[in-house]
Amino acid sequence: MRNWSILFGLAALFSVAAFLYAPFAAEWWLPNPPGELHHSVSTLGREIDFLFLIILAITGLVFIGTQVVLVWGAYKFTDQLDQQGKPVRPATYSHGNHRLEVVWTLVPAAILVFIAVYQLGTWARIKYPSRAPKVPPLAEITARQFQWVVRYPGPDGRLNSPDDLILINDLHFVKNKQALIYLKSSDVLHSFFLPYMRVKQDAVPGLTIPVWFDSDRAGSFELACAELCGWGHYKMRGKVVVHETEAEFEKWASNRLAEQNRSQLGMASGAEGY
Amino acid sequence: MITRSRFIAALGLAGLLVTSVGCTDSLNAGPLVYVDNEALTHELKGKANLAGKPALQAKVRAALARLYGDSPNQIRVPEGSGFPRGGLTLANHRQIGEGESARIEPIQALLPNGSPDPAHRQAGGFALYRRNCLHCHGVSGAGDGPTATFLFPRPRDFRKGVYKFTSTPSGAKPHRDDLTRSIRDGLLGTSMPAFDALMSPSEIEQVVDYVMFLSMRGETELALIEEGSISDEKDADALGDDIVKEIATGVFEKWKSAQSQVMNPSTPRTASDRASVLRGRDLYLGRTKEKLECAGCHGALAKGDGPSFVPVDVFNMVVFGGDPSTRQERVDALDEKLRTLWNQKPDDWGNPLRPTNLNRGVFKGGRRPIDLFWRIAKGINGAQMPAHYPTLNEAQIWDLVNFVLALEHDPDLLASVPPAPAPRLAESGSTR
Ligand SMILES: [Cu+2]
């Protein structure tokens, strides 16, 4: 039965190898911009990643330790039988060890308390409405089955006024600038998920939830729904574009607004064929 | 030893399972085929049909296969249909040339043994349609995909060739860009999704082609059934090649001619000031000499509750108040007056219809002024909303557009008008 211990050993080795490989492979690691495998684009994202790595290191070390003991024990103490089929080494039973139990309860408890206390600040910076950046809102985003309706305040800076720009699945903001959105749902639970910005927040019918994030890289990213919300859940994908400058964003917004205000076709359409 | 061989067997089984899930076609309930229009084989009250005429039914099927191909996997683009511009990559096969000399080649890569290479993604309009649209709009475009029953409004049946959100004259085929817009931006407030973030522009163009293809096929089928219903089953010449060709050409021509008939308002939108909004309100309430009926359908407060349709609660009870398959029972249980009203107001596809609540700022066909201009000027095909041009001139339509757009942010706009008794209606109509 020694083979089992070898199998367990291999499985553990494979898992550890996978974790050692992951930080060097884009598909295996956290979603980060191409070419910058270890750069998380958002400020809060970097805090979250740091916490994630601490936990990964702690659990990783514990995993390696326990696996070594497990495999070594299984290998060393495999039952051996003599000619008559009787165990060569009969098992002995001990009746608990108070000190050992106290140690293996207190050490994990201490680690847990450390993690719980250590992340409090980050949690508050991400989730407490009172910590929301004091900036005018970028947009109000309403989730519905199955799309994100993004309402930008338009030139007057006020939401729900006649000059609002309303787009579907299209979120734009500016590099290095805090973006604040108000998240709503018009039907069921959805979850607003910006994997690159490490933002995940449920959209709850009846609530308006402030969510904030930023990015220090311009480019195209992704928005997804992370709460199974019905058969069309997978369709709730959105474009996220981070503009290099405020001016570029303004230009995009005013182009889209001009399109929303379109009252005549530009060019004569209707050529031959389709 | 035994444990090891069992372990290997389990591993092998798991491997097999994973690979078999890869070949999705093997999970299909049956072969992928176009479904006959119901009227081909069934007696339908008040509609042309070929029930009990097997020879003519066979002719219709043969003609469709010749024109449009045998199945979704073997699509043909009929001669004279006006495609391409990318229109030939309709399916997993690409047609090279037109008509008799056309060659059909697979887009899909083939393995050396001739079977399709499963690693190669299916491409073209049909493959995209199958992935993104089929579960609502159905294999034949009949709006009968597996999710359709649970949706209100129901997904569009493309086979009539009638589209709601068009820029072309009332009743005409849509312009290609109208379809592109509906697919790219979705129909807000319905389950029709916006595909902008899900497909590339060229993919959207391909799927537009396929939608038009399904419409042409469906319209040809309907026209053949109509022609067949007045033909003699025993007449060998009935539905002959010439007739089929003529019918198909008629279908193509309607699509082609619509492409040059887009209405572009000659005047830009009137500035949306208070005066214009109030002029729009008078038009809406029928207080002008044109005596418009908007409020009759959309309601005095524009909540979509006008007297021309059954009250909202009755509508909700029938449509949402139980199993969709027992809807007719709920209709039958209505009193005489409501039932008559209900039966007068389905849409052209026979589905329940509701005028829009205009206070919410949610417009299926888009919120651009030009979209609303088209809706009011051209009406909404198949949905009873009438065309108002040239009854109204462009300036009046812009006033209505401004009024409709103002409603979302000014709830008192209609609430503050006292309901006008009949005599005053006529009076104010003359003092515009
Ligand atoms: Cu969702």
Q: Which DSSP state fits A167?
A: E
Q: What CATH number does residue A188 fall under?
A: 2.60.40.420
pLDDT at B79 over 60: yes
Mean pLDDT taken over chain B: 84
A56/A155 same-domain check: no
The distance of A11 to chain B (nearest Cα, Å) reads 14
Domain region containing A23: 2-92
Amino acid B263: pLDDT: 92
- Report the percentage of chain B scoring pLDDT > 70: 80
Residues A32 and A88 in one domain: yes
Looking at the fold, whether A223 and A139 belong to one and the same domain comes out as: yes
Lowest mean pLDDT among A67-71, B160-164, B198-202, B251-255: B198-202
For B370, the closest of A264, A268, A273 (CB atoms) is A264
Q: Are B193 and A146 within 8 A, CB to CB?
A: yes
Q: Is residue A204, in this structure, part of any structural domain at all?
A: yes
Cα Rg of chain B, angstroms: 26
Residue A212, beta-bridge partner list: A180
In CATH terms, the superfamily for domain B274-309+355-427 is Cytochrome c-like domain (1.10.760.10)
Q: Nearest-CA neighbor of B68 among B207, B211, B213? A: B213
A259 and A139 in a single domain? The answer is yes
Element (H, E) at A148: strand A147-152
Same domain? A170 vs A86: no
pLDDT exceeds 70 at position B247: yes
Paired strand residues for A223:
A238
Q: State residue B128's pLDDT score.
A: 87
- Predicted confidence (pLDDT) at residue B397 exceeds the cutoff of 90: yes
pLDDT for position B43: 86
Q: Is the pLDDT of residue A240 over 80?
A: yes
Stronger pLDDT, B30 or B301, i.e. the higher one: B301
Model pLDDT, residue A270: 42
Q: Which residues of B touch A270 (CB under 8 A)?
A: 175, 259-262
- DSSP strands (E only) in A9-146: 139-144
Residue B157 confidence (pLDDT) above 80: yes
Our CA-based measurement puts residue B85 at a distance from the nearest CA of chain A, in whole angstroms, of 7
pLDDT score for A125: 93
Give the bridge partners for B75, in sequence order: B69
Q: Which residues of chain A have a Cβ shorter than 8 Å from any chain B Cβ?
A: 3, 145-147, 149, 160-162, 166, 168-170, 231-232, 235, 237-239, 259-265, 268-274
pLDDT given for residue B80 in this prediction: 80
The pLDDT assigned to B93 comes to 55
- ipTM value, please give it: 0.82
d(CA B253, CA B50): 25
Domain-embedded: residue A110: no
> Out of A245-254, B11-20, B196-205, which region has the weakest mean confidence (pLDDT)?
B11-20
What band does B2 get if pLDDT is binned at 50, 70 and 90?
A: very low
**Residue B81 pLDDT level (bands cut at 50, 70, 90):** confident
In a domain, A223, yes or no: yes
Among all residues of chain A, which has the CA nearest to that of B150? A231
Same domain? A150 vs A258: yes
pLDDT of residue B419: 63
A146 and A86, same domain (yes or no): no
Q: Are residues A85 and A141 in the same domain?
A: no
A76 with A7, same domain: the answer is yes
Range in A121-130, B1-10, B305-314, B396-405 the model is least confident about: B1-10
Q: Which regions of chain B carry the CATH code 1.10.760.10?
A: 274-309+355-427
- Does A102 have pLDDT greater than 50? yes
Beta-bridge partners for A242: A173, A219
Residue window 357-386, chain B: list those with CB within 8 Å of chain A.
367-370, 373
CB atoms near residue B47 (< 10 Å): 13
The pLDDT of residue B21: 45
Residues A179-198 pLDDT 10s: 999 999 999 999 999 999 99
| A154 and A263, same domain (yes or no) | yes
Which pLDDT does position B107 carry in this prediction? 52
Q: Is the pLDDT of residue A253 over 70?
A: yes
Is A262 within 8 Å of B368 (Cβ atoms)? Answer: yes
Domain final residue, candidates A67, A92, A117: A92
Whether the predicted pLDDT of B45 surpasses 90: no
Count how many domains chain A has.
2
- Is the pLDDT confidence value at A207 over 60? yes
| One-letter amino acid for residue B330 of the chain | R
A102 found inside a domain: no
At A90 the pLDDT is: 76
On the question of pLDDT at B317 being above 90, the answer is: yes
Contact yes or no for A171/A239 (Cβ under 8 A): yes
Partner residue opposite A270 with nearest CB, options B175, B398, B406 = B175
